[in-house]
Amino acid sequence: MSVDGWNTLLVLGGIRSGKSEFAESLVADAPMVRYVATAPEGDPADTEWATRLAAHRARRPGTWTTEETAADPGRLAEVIAAAGPNETLLVDDLGGWVTVLLDPARQPADDPATIAELAAAVRASSARLVLVSPEVGLSLVPTTPLGRAFTDALGAANRAIADACDAVVLVVAGQPAWLKPAAPRQPAVPSQAGPGQAGAPVATAAEWAEPPPAVAAGLTIEPGMELPMPDDYVGPQAVDRLATLDIPGAGLGVLERVVGFAAATQGTATPAPWTSVRVLLLHGDHAGGASAGATPDESARRARQARAGQGALARLAAECGASLQVVEAPASAAIEDEPALTAEQVESALRYGWRLAEQAADAGVQLLVLAACGAGAEAAAAAVLVATTGAEAPMVLGRVLTEQGQIDDAAWMVRCATVRDALHRTRRGPRDAKDVLAELGGGDIAVATGVLLGATARRIPVLLDGPVGVAAGLVSRDLAGQARHWCLLPDHGGQPAVRHAADVLGLAPLVDLRLGLGEGATSLATLPLLRSMLSLAATLPVHPSLRDTEYDEDEFAEPEPAGPGPSRPTPTEPEFAEPEPAGPGPSRPTTVEPDEAVTVPESPGRRAD
């Protein structure tokens, strides 16, 4: 499921309704788009049709690729079925596809079976897929047999594809009307709660049904951006306030930094625990030696697992009540031979990451967690660290482990050589932030950089705990120095790249768990602890020695009943009664109840009258 709450979308509309332009706008920020053209070329003498086709081609960005399927209607289902989870496909349109399908030269044919095959491919697609189709159900019944056959076949195709897609939108006069909003998926994650307790919230891939707003027009991501800083006054003020609370012992220890960080990012000396948390799992593989030792297709399996609400990351997110989104980043080329991305792909990936942060802010998210699962991401992050900090590759590259947990030194050496060769290839090139992303970083680090910049712009703190996150932190620092102040590092996990980058960024880890559950898992594992500290800091009273009076009589008083009922009896003795004297001395006066006979004991030397 994509960030918009849908993975497959059908865009319907009449002639000149603006359906194609709307569909193109939905994928404009995608790093890579494959445009699947279904219409035949037509009669060369038909200049009006040729003009329409030329207008469609002129609107496509130069970074898009085009694939023609007009020669074989069955080819469209094959293209969709073969598309990977990191691809974005725009099919325009199904009307042209049905035209080819009904071509008399191809008859007789089993057209309903071909439509069913296409619907099955759409339903099973793991790619981000947008299909455009004319809406013919509102027009008059054609007067010709061929016209009726076309409307019948296209109507059947639209119904089958609409049923297979996550969402359907109808464009009328350029205005989209969502007919089938994408509902949040609820994967079946077994509850980890004990007997008699409610189950943990399920991590989902989307939180909202309506399409999110587009990224701000005219956004330019360039070095020297002026973004907001956390409040550097209330942060220390919140830490100083902890010394006044009724806390036994030495207090919160190193976790005082969590309170200061939350106070500065929330702008209040009494910060509240983060209740709305979103995990962004970036999936983008790196080709070449960067992924040496990685199990083929393992990263794609992890991404599918997370989409289904399974695996360690999804279960931890469910325990924390956090939503989980799998974000497909562009695949990166072998950095030892060529740039990982083109300059256009870097710009698109940065804007896409910024858009992810904006959508999180619009949805009320208070905290982001960056996670990653791409093959070769560790080596790409190491290359970024070497280029930006001057570190040596062997110093920041962690050991490579096999599926059986054994150390693979041969794969580690290949990765070291890959980083060395990539740095040698780019030794005379510029080291600007975007150049580093294009030459070395790749798609996942570029998207993560955009997320950090967008989160900074919208004042959302971000938890980092892995190589992709800290590499993005180093790059974002060169674009906007304020970004690193919105990042918190719960743990370096024993990873040399994270430890080194944290030193450069000034991020001190809070704990030392050394979990090996993947990037993002440590942040989720520590999140309940961080929330508990914020809750204590916000709710504990001031220590009695620092109050104006020695005791606050209301502090330990039983609360009055909230609803109607018998009134609470008034005590006849003070709440804090003076104890009886232990030794000889004057007796304590006895409380006399009305109409009660009291016998006064006789004291020595006194006779009772």
Answer whether 416's CB lies under 8 Å from 394's CB: yes
Contacts of 589 (CB under 8 A, 6+ apart): none
Answer whether 229's CB lies under 8 Å from 438's CB: no
Query: In terms of C-beta density within 10 A (0-12 exposed, 13-18 middle, 19 or more buried), how is residue 545 classed?
Result: exposed
Orientation of helix 521-539 relative to helix 256-266, angle to 10° = 80
Residue 254's CB is within 10 A of a number of other CB atoms, namely 10
User: Which position has the token pair 């006399």?
Assistant: 592
Q: To 10 degrees, the CA torsion angle through 300, 306, 311, 316?
A: 140
3-state secondary structure of 65: strand
Is 519 an annotated catalytic residue? Answer: yes
Measured CA to CA, the distance from residue 485 to residue 471 in angstroms comes to 15
Sheet with 175-180: strands ordered across: 65-68, 34-37, 88-92, 128-134, 8-13, 167-172, 175-180
DSSP at 245: B
Bond prior to 43 in cis (omega within 30° of 0):
no
Phi and psi based region of residue 494 (left: phi greater than 0; alpha: psi -120 to 50; beta: remaining): left
Measured CA to CA, the distance from residue 354 to residue 448 in angstroms comes to 9
CA 309 to chain centre: 14
3-state secondary structure of 233: coil
Catalytic-labelled residue, pool 319, 344, 519, 602: 519
Contacts of 549 (CB under 8 A, 6+ apart): none
Q: Point out the residues that are catalytic.
A: 519
